[in-house]
Amino acid sequence: MAISAVSNVLRKQFQAESEPAADGRSTPLSASSADAPAAQHAAAGAPSALGTVVFRDLGKVYRSSAGEVPALQNITLDIAAGSIFGIIGRSGAGKSSLLRTINRLEEPSSGQVLVDGVDIGTLDEAGLVQLRRRVGMIFQHFNLLSAKTVFENVALPLKVAGVPAAQIQQRVTELLDLVGLQDKHKTYPSRLSGGQKQRVGIARALATRPEILLCDEATSALDPETTQAILALLRDINRRLGITVILITHEMSVIREIADQVLVLEKGEIAELGEVWQVFGNPRHAATQALLAPLRHGVPDDLQQRLQPQAPGTGRFEQVLQLGYSGHDGLEPDFPRIAEALGAKVRLLHGGVDRIQGHAQGQLIIAIDGAAARNDWAALTQGPATIAHEIRVLGYVV
Ligand SMILES: Nc1ncnc2c1ncn2[C@@H]1O[C@H](COP(=O)(O)OP(=O)(O)OP(=O)(O)O)[C@@H](O)[C@H]1O
Ligand SMILES: [Mg+2]
């Protein structure tokens, strides 16, 4: 992105008509007509959970000379304050379009977006400025200003907001400590690694003490180790500062590791929505299944080639079973119980179990002695005898 475009985005994002409040926290959002619940809460001195987002029957159609492109339809959902909310979907599914309606970088064609109970479509210019101070954003390619130092990049939104220099000094120092860049104040972005650049992006997004942080593929340009470090930082920010984090990613492992809830978008509509362990443990929609395929422990090629569909008539052989765990009812693989129930010693051939939000999920491919083979193991997937949520006979090996 060209520098002028970057500064435009930043200006749109951070422009403010006045200084932040004395505690540095921006005042609650209010519509021009304004008797929003959040504002009432704050006025009453009640503890308010700021950072909720509600989409109500949202639709977006892009209109260009080439015609109309429907990008979002029938989007109705709530994002809880202080949660980490993941958005996944195939390329072109509408993820960025949806995310960008939260700070009105994109205007919906129909429906509403409510932030802390306020329909942001009703905000006037000043309200919009406030909104953009409360909703920080980080980008895949960081969008830093290359001619400015790390300090200046992070200071920019505060400067635009007219914060006095001494306060800027203090706040930026605090932020660079928070993201682990205390020794990089005077460094220019070109001398930073990708992970360090994203840390600057995060510090800059947090400068105005937002209650919501939008992340559009914030780790897609980073190597796996740096991705882990940035995820840990985002989780830390979410927990310590109570900021709602809404993130788009193509990396399912990112969602698995840090998100509370996940939305699967397909062709602009909600394909699935729910807690991550529920959606990942039992993906119903073809789009979700396709997205999650890389995480599944499928049958490895060498085993697939050796598998026979029928048990051999003579000689020793083994039956190969796939045991599935969906995360429900606290059920986990328990090998002594599995062996006892199957009436055979168990050989683990492939697979594994992940823990998502405390729920064990995955597939195990095991082999048991042919003498114990049965065609149907469904009895062991129900009631007190349950050893797995699903048991499939994959075939036989000699
Ligand atoms: N400014 C625009 N003008 C016209 N069409 C657009 C515009 N921005 C996005 N679209 C179209 O809207 C649809 C949704 O795009 P969007 O960028 O939201 O998808 P996405 O899920 O973020 O995809 P990706 O994973 O590739 O980033 C696509 O069909 C896209 O071509
Ligand atoms: Mg996108």
| Nearest residue by C-alpha to atom 9 in ligand 1 | 97
pLDDT tens by residue, 188-203? 999 999 999 999 999 9
Residue 249, φ and ψ in degrees, nearest 5: -155, 155
DSSP letter string, 22-86:
TTSPPPPP--SS---HHHHHHHHT-------EEEEEEEEEEEETTEEEEEEEEEEEEE-TT-EEE
> Which residues have CB atoms below 5 A from the ion given as ligand 2?
96
Joined tokens for residue 356: 């998502």
Q: Which amino acid is at 96?
A: S
| Nearest residue by C-alpha to atom 16 in ligand 1 | 94
Shortest-distance atom of ligand 1 to CA 63: 4
Domain boundary, last residue among 236, 271, 293: 293
CATH number at residue 393: 3.30.70.260
State which residues form the domain around 370. Answer: 301-397
Q: Are 297 and 348 in contact (CB under 8 A)?
A: no
Q: Are 145 and 152 in contact (CB under 8 A)?
A: yes
- The 3-state DSSP composition of the chain as helix, strand, coil percent (nearest 5) reads 35, 25, 35
The number of distinct structural domains making up the chain is 2
Q: How far is CA 245 from CA 95, 158, 230, 287, 321, in A?
A: 15, 21, 13, 23, 40
Residues 256 and 375 occupy one common structural domain: no
Domain boundary, last residue among 264, 293, 322: 293
CATH number at residue 277: 3.40.50.300
Residues 273 and 309 occupy one common structural domain: no
Residues 256 and 275 occupy one common structural domain: yes
Q: Print pLDDT tens along the chain (398 aa).
A: 444 443 343 344 433 323 333 334 444 555 443 333 334 333 444 445 799 999 999 999 999 888 999 999 999 999 999 999 999 999 999 999 999 999 999 999 999 999 999 999 999 999 999 999 999 999 988 899 999 999 999 999 999 999 999 999 999 999 999 999 999 999 999 999 999 999 999 999 999 999 999 999 999 888 989 999 999 999 999 999 999 999 999 999 899 989 999 999 999 999 999 999 999 988 999 999 999 988 777 788 999 999 999 988 888 999 999 999 999 989 999 999 999 999 999 999 999 898 888 899 999 999 999 999 999 999 999 998 999 999 999 999 99
Domain boundary, last residue among 293, 315, 338: 293
Residues 163 and 232 occupy one common structural domain: yes
Residues 323 and 266 occupy one common structural domain: no
Distance 97 CA to ligand 1 centre (A): 6
Ligand 1 binding pocket includes 291 (Cβ within 6 Å): no
Distance 99 CA to ligand 2 centre (A): 9
pLDDT tens by residue, 131-150? 999 999 999 888 999 999 99
Ligand 1 binding pocket includes 107 (Cβ within 6 Å): no
Ligand 1 binding pocket includes 64 (Cβ within 6 Å): yes
Closest CA to 86 of 360, 356, 298, 331: 356
Ligand 1 binding pocket includes 68 (Cβ within 6 Å): no
Ligand 1 binding pocket includes 62 (Cβ within 6 Å): yes
Residues 182 and 241 occupy one common structural domain: yes
Residue 153, φ and ψ in degrees, nearest 5: -60, -45
Distance 87 CA to ligand 2 centre (A): 10
Shortest-distance atom of ligand 1 to CA 265: 21
Which ligand has an atom closest to residue 70 CA?
Answer: 1
Distance 352 CA to ligand 2 centre (A): 31
- What pTM was computed for the model? 0.82
